[in-house]
Amino acid sequence: MEFMDNTIVRGSVVTDRLVKDGEKVFYKTYNRFPVVFERGKGVCLYDEAGREYLDFGAGISVCGLGYGNALLDKAMKEQIDKGLLHISNLFYNEPAIEAGGKLLEASGMEKVFFTNSGTEAIEGAIKIARKYHYNKGEERPEIIAMEGSFHGRSIGSLSVTGKEHYREPFEPLLPGVRFARFNDLDSVRELIGPGTGAIIMETIQGEGGIFPCTEEFLRGVRRLCDENGLLLILDEIQCGMGRSGHMFAYQEFGVLPDVLTVAKALGNGVPIGAFLARGEAASAMVPGDHGSTYGGNPFVCAAAGMVLDIFKEMELPKRAGEMGKVLWDGLERVRAAFPRLVRDHRGKGLIQGLEFAPEIKAGEVARKALLEQQLILISAEHNTIRFVPPLVIEAAHVRKMEEKLIAVLEELG
């Protein structure tokens, strides 16, 4: 690709050099695209060459506010200027107390523990389940998880991830994990035994291909937990924080989990996660049972607190529901234009997916969209492209995405 602007030519050279340097220094666990992003604004990213990219991936569902939000930037700068980024959890800090209170109010939970990531939040949730039954003198270490699920990359979170190709290279993992079929209540009921202590599931499966749970299933799982003394752990790391059209996806059905995990959009790019609990689960762990050096430090919590304020002020969950209808209509037009290529359209709010026929690979769609149309898309299981843009997108952005995606599919088709 040739560019007449000398600035862009220099930018391309810089990109080539940085990509080569990156290949030398990074551990090879990602197949990265040959693009180096330099800055972001609104719902767009800009590479070293100055090219603008429309972002419908939001850093894998992280940047709900998009890029360069002035209020969030101000909150982080003010905390930096105080010279208080970290003090350890041996002391209290105001940003963490405020952010924790706001998160509990938004979720309907009772206690919170801040982590550095979603994976760490899952680890904490698993420990709560174990300690809850230990406190009761019960040997109930087994967990029911869901086929097709994804909960993280650590040994514990991999153990409850319902995709064998993620687990197999790292086995043996945690014992006592069995997998039910998502949205099949009978398959869950059949796995409950005297050693079962908890059920863990995503309210909307993300990495697994964008599969929302049904109301009947979620209410049924909640009922099975109540009847059998189990803890219900809901993973809303990707689908939470307004993306479904509700602050948390379970709120659509009026169901509360015993333990909740969140991360991603909570910090809008600042590394933070949390596990929350209510009822007896909220007091299951005592001093010495769990900890985190960096979790809940003043800097990340100043960011999270402001993110929660902005979500509330802008009514972003409601906005995501409204824009989700616009996105749905746009993707339905794409589906109608390519009935042979597009197998299915799933999701709700601003977490949706298009599943493609086997002759066209979702990864190739994402690659061509990025390199030829400057459109950022990310793939998922079941040969699916997931659409998880910043929650601040407008109808014009959806239309522009639609045009770019159609151009890609016309070429591939």
φ/ψ (deg, to 5) at 396: -60, -35
Q: Look at residue 13 in the predicted model and tell me its pLDDT.
A: 82
Name residue 199's amino acid.
Answer: I
Residue ranges per structural domain of the chain: 6-62+316-412, 70-314
Looking at residues 23-46, what average pLDDT do you find?
94
Query: Can you read off the two tokens belonging to residue 87?
Result: 């003090």
pLDDT in tens, 237-295: 999 999 999 999 999 999 999 999 999 999 999 999 999 999 999 999 999 999 999 99
Task: Give me the pLDDT at residue 91, please.
Answer: 97
Predicted confidence at residue 12, as pLDDT, reads 74
CA distance 98 to 347: 32
At 115, is the secondary structure helix, strand, or coil?
strand
* Phi/psi of residue 50, nearest 5 degrees: 90, 5
> Is 380 strand, coil or helix?
strand
Contact present, 158 and 170 (Cβ < 8 Å):
yes
Say if residues 269 and 299 touch (Cβ distance below 8 Å).
no
Please give the CATH number for the structural domain made up of 6-62+316-412.
Answer: 3.90.1150.10
Q: Are strands 111-115 and 52-55 parallel, antiparallel or unpaired?
A: unpaired
The pLDDT score that the predictor gives to residue 290 is: 97
Helix axes 94-107, 298-314, angle to 10 degrees: 40
- For residue 135, what are the contacts with CB-CB under 8 A and spacing of at least 6? 284
What confidence tens digit (pLDDT) does each residue in 212-236 have?
999 999 999 999 999 999 999 999 9
* pLDDT of amino acid 4: 32
Q: Where are the alpha helices (DSSP H) in 269-394?
A: 298-314, 316-337, 362-373
Q: Would you give the DSSP letter of residue 50?
A: -
Arithmetic mean of pLDDT, 318-328: 98
For 70-314, CATH number? 3.40.640.10
- Could you list the beta-strand ranges (E) of 108-206: 111-115, 142-146, 177-180, 196-202, 204-205
In the chain, how long is the greatest CA-to-CA distance?
73
Does this model's pTM top 0.85? Answer: yes
Q: Does residue 89 register a pLDDT over 80?
A: yes
**Mind listing the pLDDT tens digit for each residue in 107-164?**
999 999 999 999 999 999 999 999 999 999 999 999 999 999 999 999 999 999 999 9
Contact status, residue 355 vs residue 314, Cβ threshold 8 Å: no
Assign 43 a pLDDT band (cuts: 50, 70, 90): very high
Q: Note the pLDDT tens digit of each residue in 72-85.
A: 999 999 999 999 99
Which whole-number Å values give the CA distances from 260 to 196, 221, 332, 359, in the listed order?
A: 19, 15, 32, 38
Output the pLDDT for position 15. Answer: 87
Integer Cα distance of 356 and 179 in angstroms: 26
